[in-house]
Structure 1
């Protein structure tokens, strides 16, 4: 098969890069439902993610019970208070930030590491955290596909994993790693929300690329 058969068109390639550039960690949602066909496509995109040793360590729990949503929200609020205390002088500034959209989003998912993943030695003997990296790849697939479908997604990590696992009836060894708010938005942020709010700024690419040895930011022959 020729190389041309595998090549993306200019428009297709531009769409991929646009989704990457315009993906945002969203915190503001409309309550409109997500079309079931679109939702199914997003889950399929997540499931197509690469995983070390083809272990597919992700599990997604779809939260449809409104009372359960409120309980999850309460867990996040508890951790939000603890985080605010730990921030010291920036406590008030942090409390003014909106950190999640659990009660507003059209769909709520909890991404978890599966139970029994220790049996997957391939790729994990020296880097056991590669199972978590694989789950992150699935979330990123979901995130980019959501942006392509004009839906927003927010990754919430402010919760006690043990408490959330207990609330969701997870077996020993399974661990929630992300609460994912998915749904329609009024508009996508023009830049990361934490930049817009003056909390922090992203670092330029050139500061994060080293050549040959750690800390060497200048290319050499």
Structure 2
């Protein structure tokens, strides 16, 4: 059996999926269907990885104490980030909603297992960072699968990776790559939130291709 033929209607919908992917920060609190979540994780595991190493490790954070600790770490990091701007910019920064940690029903911490032996180190001797890049590919696959099923995903980066790793008590060889909030969006927008709230101008550059 050969590969499927992707018609124009499918390609149109695929382009729409990319456009509507969006980083969600505003979630409803109702639960996510477990089968749907598992389907999205299956999509993540189909991501390409250097040397077929599959180094991603998804950790669902359900314990209220651990979730509160992660949220507290975000609050501290967020306050420190605001302090790095001048007074006017700091006030605007504080007005942004940069995470949905308190509302999102699902938290997923995604780690790169630097000690994985799968793939026997193939392809990363000269570029070891490709191990972490592979995890980013898995996050993107998960994100698109979730968006296609009506779920929103928000990537929280205003965190201290070592602190989060300690909170979640993961192996020492695991390195945090992404902390994802997952749930049903409160609202749907095609434009990025940071543009919509005036933090940065609309990006009209489109795709850029450099020639050498």
TM over 0.5: yes
Q: Which moved more, 1:73-82 or 1:88-97?
A: 88-97
Task: Using the TM superposition, give the Cα deviation of residue 34 of structure 1 relative to its aligned residue in structure 2, in angstroms.
Answer: 0.6
SS at match of 1:86: coil
State the partner residue of 1:215. none
* Partner SS for 2:83: helix
Which structure features the higher share of helix residues? 1
Contact 1:25 1:192 in 2 (8 A): yes
Q: Computing the radius of gyration over CA atoms, which structure comes out larger, 1 or 2? A: 1
Distance 1:73 1:143 in 2: 21
CA offsets 1:59-80 (integer angstroms, 9 cap, x no match) = 0100112222111100111110
1:196 is matched with which residue? Answer: 196
Aligned counterpart, 1:57: 55
Query: Cα–Cα, structure 1 residues 115 and 31, in superposed 2: closer, same or farther, change >3 Å?
Result: same
Aligned to 2:169: 169
CA distance in 2, matches of 1:143, 1:87: 31
Residue 125 of structure 2 is aligned to residue 125 of structure 1: yes
Match of 2:81 among 75, 80, 83: 83
Q: Partner of 1:28 in structure 2?
A: 26
> Alpha-carbon deviation of 1:205?
2.5
Q: How far 1:88 moved relative to its partner?
A: 3.2
- What residue is the counterpart of 1:218 in the other structure? none
- Between the aligned partners of 1:94 and 1:68, the Cα distance in structure 2 is 26
Q: Which moved more, 1:117-126 or 1:150-159?
A: 117-126
Specify the alignment match of 2:96 in structure 1. Answer: 97
Aligned length: 209
Contact persistence 1:108–1:179 (CA under 8 A): yes
Quick one: higher RCO (CA 8 Å, sep 6+), 1 or 2?
2
Task: Report the TM-score when normalising by structure 2.
Answer: 0.92
TM-score (normalizing by structure 1): 0.88
- Aligned with residue 68 of structure 1, among 58, 66, 69: 66
Unaligned runs of 5+ in 2: none
| Partner SS, residue 205 of structure 1 | coil
Q: Which residue of 36, 45, 53 corresponds with 1:38?
A: 36
| Root-mean-square deviation (Å) | 1.8
